[in-house]
Structure 1
Amino acid sequence: MSFEDVADAIPGGTWLDDLARASARAAHAKFERPSRSALLRVSMLDSPRMDAYAFSDISRALQDATAKVGHIVRNPQGEITYVQPADREKAPLLQRGQAGNALFFGFPETSDPDALINDGIETLSERAVKELCDFLPINGSDDGALDAVLLQRDTIRNAVSDVVSAVTKTSSLGLTLTPTAGEEVTRSMTTEQARVLHNSLRESREDVGYETVTGRLDGVRTRRRIFYLERDTGSTIQGAVVPDLLDQIKVNLDRPVTARLRVVRTTTIDGRRGRPVYELLDIHGETSLFD
């Protein structure tokens, strides 16, 4: 009788019964379950010879995408569109080697000496790669996968966009993930699929808002109708000026003011945000104790 059978045979629902079942399943995982080292193989499909720059683009894209997906696996409520060093540290994808037009990636070892189970444990990196593969096409005819990407949350769209950008610049890819346990996962992305997704993901939307800020009116270019406002926090805003305000701006130069701004923020579908664009709608001088 195996430890798994022992766990299944334990009756009852008390905390002691739950503890006994958990102990038996832990023993099964440590002593009986076959395990292997997870491996991701990435093949370039278009060209018999690829240069080092192409391999670097592919490697960096997959590592960034893995770190982004790993972030939301750890923190499902948090969205990111730029990789932070902490994300790479927590979900690293380790390049193990290269053979011909194939790259091989591994995952961190679970080697805590105090752990009850070391072998057969899925790491955060492996889970992230599995989830990334869920959103990649199965083959060159899988148009449904392309549509599905556009319906995902920002971080997933952005992670897939990393892969798309690399494929667009280099070669069609074939990915084979051999997980710690379970069946192999195979995915691919052709350069044509990448071009279609690239165009879709770079479509943008504009969000318009309004802000009231205080600071010092630092300068103005009358001909170009551009103002410069130094916030109380120290940062500087520059933007367009409504023509009717030019005279009022000249009166308030180098003085504390309260400004009403129109702010336009552009965001692409893959979550990349452009710089905000400001337009000055109204301005009032602040009364100083020395006036």
Structure 2
Amino acid sequence: MRHQIAGDTWLDNLARASLSAADVKFGDGGRVPILAVDFSEDIDASALAVVSSSVQNAVARMSKYLANSSSAATQLRETDRYLARLFPRRQFGRRIEFGFESPSEVDSQLFYAHSVETMAEKAARELIEVLPVSADDQEAVSATFARDRAPLNAVRDIALAVEQTAGIGMSLTTHLGDQYGSIVTLDQARRISEGLKEGVEMERESIEVTGRIDGMRTRRRIFYLESNTRAYEGAFENDLVDAVKAHIDRPVIAVLERVRPLKKAGPRGRWSYRLVALGDAPQDVSLFDDLD
């Protein structure tokens, strides 16, 4: 019933929350969340250790970022890993499955059933949502470079691990039964790590664009913006989800941060874009005017 509610109004969200709470309170107490990593080829114990360590670090960085959005999570302490621990549950064939620490306390009040989601589970979900959804998802790869520094560092953990081992698929089944998935191929990993090499500086600047929000990818948090002269696409963070939804197919003024790697030799990299702020365009602005 919860999955059949497709709207995003306050009543839709309330209905979903009520059904989720009822599932936890009166059902089987929620499902056991599992984070699975599938490999594209057979791997040995050393490769398994590399990927397990990198996934743990990436989840810990995301957890640190979710707790403090101003953190770049460049350095990880053992405390950071401890607060977002993953526990190997089983390994078979080309798959390893991780579990999460059980919440010490679960609030049984009706509208707070989501409190059973641990920080590690939430961080794993956030990590998967910024990674590509398929082998040909070039939009998500391009958007990676404009993400906040902490998610970018977490993605780099995964990319470097894939380069050393094999392509992977990551899937999360949450305590509510929702499923999230991503894929990082060797080619995608090389493209990501090439742009995020140690010592490569990132040129960043803000621009203001007047145009129209043409659409969005909700789970990957990618926006599409059309101005009079060109189209933009890129990433946005979770706090702008509602604003982007509310402005679809409407004239807007958007503040974008554009980012590109500065290489010591060769041409400069391509710009990647991140939506920083979004507001209504003045009523007298026409999309047929000179907007940029």
TM over 0.5: yes
SS of residue in 1 equivalent to 2:73: coil
* Deviation larger for 162-171 or 96-105: 96-105
- Look up the equivalent residue of 2:36 and give its one-letter code: R
**1:160 matched to which residue of 2?**
155
Deviations 1:34-82 (A, max 9, x none): 620100111111x2x3110000000000000000000011112222212
SS of residue in 2 equivalent to 1:43: strand
Aligned length, in residue pairs: 185
1:76 maps to 2:104: no
State how far apart, in whole Å, the 1-side matches of 2:165 and 2:140 are.
21
CA drift at 1:100: 1.0
59 and 162 in structure 1: CA distance in 2 versus 1, 3 angstrom threshold: same
State how far apart, in whole Å, the 2-side matches of 1:60 and 1:168 are.
14
State how far apart, in whole Å, the 1-side matches of 2:122 and 2:142 are.
23
SS of residue in 2 equivalent to 1:37: coil
- Look up the equivalent residue of 1:184 and give its one-letter code: Q
Kept in 1: contact 2:172–2:181 (CA 8 A): yes
Larger Rg computed on CA atoms = 1
1:204 to 196, 200, 204: 200
Q: Which runs of 5+ in 2 are unaligned?
A: 1-16, 204-259, 262-292
138 and 34 in structure 1: CA distance in 2 versus 1, 3 angstrom threshold: same
CA drift at 1:32: 4.3
Between the aligned residues of both structures, percent identity stands at: 30
State how far apart, in whole Å, the 2-side matches of 1:24 and 1:137 are.
30
State how far apart, in whole Å, the 2-side matches of 1:156 and 1:23 are.
31
**1:56 matched to which residue of 2?**
49
Kept in 2: contact 1:110–1:119 (CA 8 A): no
CA RMSD of aligned residues (A): 2.9
1:131 maps to 2:126: yes
- Look up the equivalent residue of 1:205 and give its one-letter code: E
State how far apart, in whole Å, the 1-side matches of 2:196 and 2:39 are.
23
**1:39 matched to which residue of 2?**
34
Kept in 2: contact 1:35–1:119 (CA 8 A): no
- Look up the equivalent residue of 1:193 and give its one-letter code: Q
State how far apart, in whole Å, the 1-side matches of 2:188 and 2:20 are.
43
- Look up the equivalent residue of 1:181 and give its one-letter code: L
| Equivalences for residues 173-212 of structure 1 within 5 A | 173-202=168-197, 204-205=200-201
Kept in 1: contact 2:20–2:113 (CA 8 A): no
Q: Which runs of 5+ in 1 are unaligned?
A: 1-21, 208-267, 270-291
- Look up the equivalent residue of 2:97 and give its one-letter code: F
SS of residue in 2 equivalent to 1:83: coil
| Equivalences for residues 218-257 of structure 1 within 5 A | none
SS of residue in 2 equivalent to 1:171: coil
State how far apart, in whole Å, the 1-side matches of 2:168 and 2:127 are.
14
